[in-house]
Amino acid sequence: MNDAHLHMLVNHFPIIGTIFGLGILIAGVFFKNDAIKNTAYILFVVAAIFGFASMNTGEGAEELAEKLPSVTHEIIHEHEEIAEKLALVLYALGAVSLLGLFLNIKKHAKANMITYLAIVIAAVGVFLAQKTGTTGGEIRHTEIRENAAAIAGSTQETTEPDHNDNH
């Protein structure tokens, strides 16, 4: 198992965990249920931990991916830049979630304020997670790149057999 494999094993959870966590936290607010909110907080903390693991395996994955055909430094750099922003948001969300968990357990008056702060941070996280996932996917999945149709068209033209045989 190499760094690229490890990166692919851990990089999906920060995205999925943040999306699910946001939905669960909103449900906790809707139902006025601290247990549901605490579940979301724990999910956010785990997403932050997996985000840290993703960042630490990304450099090794980059070294391997840059050697592959159709993978450019620009594509990897774009993914890396957005992933760094997501990681910072996830770390902040993880810290706010630990505080929210603590305040909910203590039944503190400021617990609701932290919940709404976590929702805002998580919404930003979901936006960045989508961008990070898309740019990461574009590294190896050329079919989802913006110029996929143009690339497919030019490839198809060069690989289609010539049916204009004059026999």
pLDDT in tens, 87-98: 999 999 999 999
Which spans in 66-140 are helix H? 73-105, 111-140
pLDDT in tens, 112-155: 999 999 999 999 999 999 999 999 999 988 777 787 666 566 65
Q: Are 39 and 25 in contact (CB under 8 A)?
A: no
Per-residue confidence at 9, pLDDT binned at 50, 70, 90?
A: very high
pTM: 0.86
The sign of the torsion formed by the CA atoms of 36, 39, 44, 47 equals negative
Supply 147's token pair. Answer: 């110029």
What is d(CA 78, CA 13) in angstroms, rounded to the nearest whole number? 20
* Residue 9 CB partners (closer than 8 Å, separation 6+): none
- Tell me what pLDDT residue 34 has: 98
Q: Are 96 and 117 in contact (CB under 8 A)?
A: yes
Q: Are 82 and 132 in contact (CB under 8 A)?
A: yes
